[in-house]
Amino acid sequence: EPLFTMKPGKTYKYRVCNVGLKSSLNFRFQGHTMKLVEMEGSHTVQNDYQSLDVHVGQCFSVLVTANQESKDYYMVASTRFIKNVLVGKGIVRYTDGKGPASPEIPEAPVGWAWSLNQFRTFRWNLTASAARPNPQGSYHYGSINITRTIKLVNSASKVDGKLRYAINGVSHVDPETPLKLAEYFGIADKVFKYDTISDEGLAEGATTVTVAPNVVNATFRDFIEIIFENHEKSLQSWHLDGYSFFAVAIEPGRWSPEKRANYNLLDAVSRHTIQVFPKSW
């Protein structure tokens, strides 16, 4: 049975989300192009794609027009960047379809350089939605002075025989007293410490992981530049819960202030989840 049916000549919107825990996915629609119109709540420049990499926690909306031969077609999702590729398929059927889907499934791209180049094609649609000032009073993020720069480096190490993941060398654990409750009753200093991690990231070669509450203090309405730096051999997906940010650049290697010259300060997409490729920022 088909997952979806389409009437010839009609255009349909599909929202594709990666709700997994680890693997990036490549999504493609057999015999059709996908027009990207939205990602994570932001309207995008409407480019056409044969396939899209969707990383953990990300959602894309695409338009697909039923303008091909009336029959069945596969929609395909396959894992990326792992040795043993897993493939999931579903049938989309034209309402007057008269034939099965072709067994020739469109191939997925190989390597993360392709995915990096695709990221660079994503642009915010500046002609969609009403203009509104941000909390700093500007209508455009590229004209706001940066108040603070925080580099966040992910790492992994064993602590007491258990694998722990850490940010700037600290692996977060919740204290017995909830953080906001401790603040409300004025006992935060007895429950946890603010800013146990440095804004400078992780020192070169540092491998020690400390298990503790990891709470970063920030000033209301500061405009913060956050650098996600991945020293690991596998892709990492970063999510800022309750916040959106402008993904202005992804590059291999380590970040340095000179890299700001490569930022997209015009039409980077506002989003809440971003992939960081191996040995990249």
Other beta carbons within 10 Å of 281: 22
What average pLDDT does the chain have?
94
CATH 2.60.40.420, domain 4-119, yes or no: yes
Quote the pLDDT of residue 131: 63
Cβ atoms of residues 169 and 210 within 8 Å? yes
Split at pLDDT 50, 70, 90, the class of 276 is very high
Quote the pLDDT of residue 138: 66
Query: 198-233: buried (b, 16+ CB within 10 Å) or exposed (e) per residue?
Result: eeebbeeeeeebeeebbbeeeeeeeeeeebbbbbee
Class of domain 141-276: mainly beta
Q: How far apart are CA 115 and CA 117, in angstroms?
A: 5
Quote the pLDDT of residue 206: 78
Mean pLDDT confidence for 176-200: 96
The set of long-range contacts for 224-227, using a CB threshold of 8 Å and a minimum separation of 24, is 224/146, 224/147, 224/148, 224/149, 224/150, 225/146, 225/148, 225/149, 225/150, 226/149, 226/150, 226/151, 226/152, 227/149, 227/150, 227/151, 227/152, 227/201, 227/255, 227/281
Mean pLDDT confidence for 22-36: 97
Whether residue 139 is predicted with pLDDT greater than 70 in this model: the reply is no
Split at pLDDT 50, 70, 90, the class of 205 is confident
Residues of the chain with CATH 2.60.40.420: 4-119, 141-276
Q: How far apart are CA 117 and CA 276, in angstroms?
A: 13
Whether residue 135 is predicted with pLDDT greater than 90 in this model: the reply is no
Predicted TM-score (pTM) of this structure: 0.91
Say what percent of the chain tops pLDDT 90.
Answer: 88
In the three-class reduction of DSSP (H, G, I as helix; E, B as strand; rest coil), residue 119 is classed as helix
Split at pLDDT 50, 70, 90, the class of 78 is very high
One-letter amino acid at 180 equals: K
User: What tens digit of pLDDT does each residue of 85-132 get?
Assistant: 999 999 999 999 889 999 999 999 999 999 999 999 999 998 887 666
